[in-house]
Amino acid sequence: MHNDIHNYLTKYRDQHLNELTEWLSIPSVSSLSEHKEDTLRGAEWIADSLKKIGMENIKLHPTKGHPVVYADWIHAENKPTVLIYGHYDVQPVDPLHLWETAPFEPTIRDNKIFARGATDDKGQFFMHLKAIEALMNIHGELPVNVKFLIEGEEEIGSVNLPAFVEENQELLASDVILISDTGMQEKGRPAICYGLRGLAGVQIDVKGAKGDLHSGLYGGGVQNALHALVQLLESFRDDNGVIQVKRFYDKVEALSDEEKAAYNALNFSEDGLKEELTVEELVGEEGYTYIERTWVRPTLEINGMWGGFQGEGIKTVLPNEAHAKITCRLVPNQDPDEIVELLTKHVNAHTPPGVTVTVTPFDKGAPYVTPYSHPAIQAAGRSYEKVYGVPTQFIRGGGSIPIVATFDQILQKPIVLMGFGLPGENFHAPNEHFHLENFDQGLRVIANYLSELPQTFSK
């Protein structure tokens, strides 16, 4: 069978890439209201593609936001059921001028496909469609039962999916949940991520005088909203990168010696990363390695900040408004709601005189860790190894897929995070791209995994 899959995928590679290009061309930016229709087009494109590969019961379930796409094929009697999750929405594209080619005009250069969503998550999710298409066309049936769940709000915190999952537990019943929305540590080294950080954040809006003031007439006499914001933002962390929000670290577990040793054994190259990012130094919380800081330590980052005059030249204004967006990455036991509460308290306790500050929470996601000894996860490791020819790494990820924690809590089934992204592929940034070698090998990994799963569950 291995050969049949290989031949099929080789034969249809160009067609598959054409289809991927078509999908990546849809600007389904879920966070921007001007892309509402485009985001719906993303959902419709997926529904249509699911139909073409023989899926059934296809439906766009409306939500308060963007619809959830469901489909299934459940004719593999007495075989396990796999729930495959993905998202059809993508991040905004600004700053647009830094893209070498337009974000929604996919371009292949150097065996990489460049487009917003290339890895996160359209490209990765698309592989599941095509692996299943291959199995279906070769065998006329699938080795397992398959259910698809694709949402359009992952990039805005999966606002409406938890309620959908809660209300549709029967529809979504499965033995294992399979997600490709993470990455490997390095080229040619497959990795399965068994832990993800959570997310909590707020927008901070500072308001000073009733309007902008002349910095000559009032400067030195009246609070400047930008200075107040700077003072407030600076209070969040000390010079060693330690977050100063009271009780922020209370529930964070110390790193075990075993984990420390395992991470050190990965031989992660900080120098390689510095070179890749073109920075002189990697900077973060004192006393932790880069891997520890990005996998198992919580963070607080300013994602955006603005106020006053941003145009060309000089404008001697004393601005009366200033704004910032901050988000925290959370580790196990930290509760996003509690963190938002602590952040709000911190802002209130540190608001400089002469301004008022409003705090607005963003959508949240809980952190997640699963035991990687589970047979369904170990089987995924073997499928990777067969295709890539090297042992699979078991790692944790710094990012957040809020829905993973929700699946864990509501559906209580093992979750396999089968990621094919690579560091440096610019998720959420300009020039996002996906290495096509991982597209090719990933298709084979997925097909192998679905084929092997019945054995794993019958053991």
Q: In terms of CB distance, is 81 or 351 closer to a second copy?
A: 351
Residue 87 CB, shortest distance to a second copy, in Å, is: 14
Tokens matching residue 33:
């209201």
Please list, in sequence order, all residues whose beta carbon lies within 8 angstroms of the beta carbon of residue 267, skipping any fewer than 6 positions away.
none
Residue 421 CB, shortest distance to a second copy, in Å, is: 9
Alpha carbon 399 to chain centroid, angstroms: 6
Tokens matching residue 116:
């917003």
Residue 62 CB, shortest distance to a second copy, in Å, is: 20
Q: In terms of CB distance, is 329 or 444 closer to a second copy?
A: 329
Residue 121 CB, shortest distance to a second copy, in Å, is: 12
Quick count: other Cβ atoms within 10 Å of Cβ 215?
A: 16
- Residue by residue, DSSP assigns 90-117 as B----SGGG-SS-TTS-EEETTEEESTT
> How many angstroms separate the CA atoms of 45 and 67, rounded?
12
Residue 436 CB, shortest distance to a second copy, in Å, is: 20
Q: In terms of CB distance, is 31 or 344 closer to a second copy?
A: 31
Q: Residue 219: phi, psi to the nearest 5?
A: -60, 130
Q: In terms of CB distance, is 1 or 279 closer to a second copy?
A: 279
Rg of the chain over all Cα atoms, to the nearest angstrom:
23
Q: In terms of CB distance, is 74 or 230 closer to a second copy?
A: 230
Cα separation of the two ends of the chain: 21
Three-class SS state of 418: strand
Give the dihedral sign, CA 15/16/21/23: positive
Distances in whole angstroms, Cα of residue 354 to Cα of each of 223, 224, 226: 5, 8, 12
Q: In terms of CB distance, is 162 or 284 closer to a second copy?
A: 284
Q: In terms of CB distance, is 140 or 211 closer to a second copy?
A: 211
Q: In terms of CB distance, is 32 or 102 closer to a second copy?
A: 32
Q: In terms of CB distance, is 291 or 453 closer to a second copy?
A: 291
Residue 92 CB, shortest distance to a second copy, in Å, is: 6
Quick count: other Cβ atoms within 10 Å of Cβ 274?
A: 14
Three-class SS state of 52: helix
Quick count: other Cβ atoms within 10 Å of Cβ 131?
A: 25
Residue 284 CB, shortest distance to a second copy, in Å, is: 5
Residue 248 CB, shortest distance to a second copy, in Å, is: 13
Q: Give kind and range of the element (H or E) at residue 447.
A: helix 436-458
CA-nearest of 390, 450, 440, 437 to 82 is: 450
Q: In terms of CB distance, is 82 or 355 closer to a second copy?
A: 355
CB 323 within 8 A of CB 307: yes
Tokens matching residue 351:
């608001």
Residue 193 CB, shortest distance to a second copy, in Å, is: 11
Tokens matching residue 113:
């496909």
Q: In terms of CB distance, is 354 or 391 closer to a second copy?
A: 354
> How many angstroms separate the CA atoms of 100 and 114, rounded?
9
Residue 143 CB, shortest distance to a second copy, in Å, is: 33
Residue 126 CB, shortest distance to a second copy, in Å, is: 20
The helix-helix angle for 122-139 and 2-11 (nearest 10°) equals 120
How does strand 176-179 pair with strand 81-87? parallel
Tokens 């917003």 — which residue?
Answer: 116
